[in-house]
Structure 1
Amino acid sequence: MRQTVVAEQEISGKTDAIWETISAGGNVHKWFPMVIHSCQLQGTGEGASRFCTMADGNELEERIVEVNHAARRFRYTVDKHPLPAKDVIAFIEVKNAGDGRTFISWGAEFEASEEAVPQVKETIHGLYMQGIQSLEAYHNAN
């Protein structure tokens, strides 16, 4: 059964600058260094591939499937990852919250066994919340 998990938070930071960081697709290790040790982007925009090494040594292989500048929506498949899940499609949506603040939704849809669903949801939610907070820290430091 298809599952969904979403992490959401309003952060301080200029929406256009945050969207530019996300939509570029690369350099994830610069704004999410506590989880992503290195990240290489092959290609640009939709169809590009990302190859990331996590801080714990696990590897991620992702393919960018949507970069919608008008809606500020970035979608990608996570084809290789350490979780007991398959067919993972993730998204990040960025919305202007006014007064120099930005609302971020970062979520994923996936397939997993019934036993694995709670662990997968908790892990993804925790990672994405950490990622949102890391984006805020990165943008406030630069």
Structure 2
Amino acid sequence: MTEVYTSSVIGAPADQVWAAIRDFNGLPSWHPAIAESRIEGGAPADQVGCVRAFRLKDGGFIREKLLALSDYDFACTYSILESPMGVENYIATLKLSPITDGGRTFAEWSAEFDCAPERADELTDLIGNGVFQGGFDALKGRFGG
């Protein structure tokens, strides 16, 4: 099992950041790598079990299933159902915590997955620095760092 963990501080209160990222179908509005997204079957975007299908700006196609969503904890957990990355059993959690000093947010994004052993370092870098940090950097650009 390969593990990835990325954290950051965003210069806005957690409830404001959560409002921007809570929508499971809203990736294109805040993540720079996502071109378009839709929820399959017309399910609500906050319904546990819904599946989002999205296209990356580089043309890649990914399907993910929402496993948990907590407005109380500012957290969501999802799995990858289909991806060009070569990962299996991929489960990720994006969680926000309030930083009371200055009204900021501590953001954590982690994942566990199986992959070919020779690709573990490459995928850890791609997911941790590309996907997770790329999303955090975009949120910091939007809200302040």
Q: Is the 8 A contact 1:8 1:105 kept in 2?
A: yes
Identity, % of aligned positions: 20
Q: Which residue of 1 aligns with 2:5?
A: 6
Find the counterpart in structure 2 of residue 40 from structure 1: 38
Structure 1 residues not aligned, in runs of 5+ = none
TM-score by length of structure 2 reads 0.89
Return the offset for 1:49.
1.2
What aligned pairs does 1:1-142 form with structure 2 within 5 A after superposition?
2-32=1-31, 34-42=32-40, 43-44=43-44, 45=46, 46-98=48-100, 99-126=102-129, 127-139=131-143
- 1:30 offset after TM fit, Å? 1.0
Tell me the amino acid that sits aligned with residue 130 of structure 1. Answer: G
- TM score, norm. by length of structure 1: 0.90
Distance 1:28 1:10 in 2: 19
**Superposition RMSD on alpha carbons, in Å?**
1.3
Partners of 2:14 and 2:96 within 8 A in 1: yes
Whole-angstrom CA distance in 2 between matches of 1:24 and 1:139: 17
Poorly superposed stretches of 4+, deviation over 6 Å:
none
Structure 2 unaligned spans of 5+? none
Instruction: Give, in whole Å, the separation in 1 of the partners of 2:37 and 2:128.
Output: 21
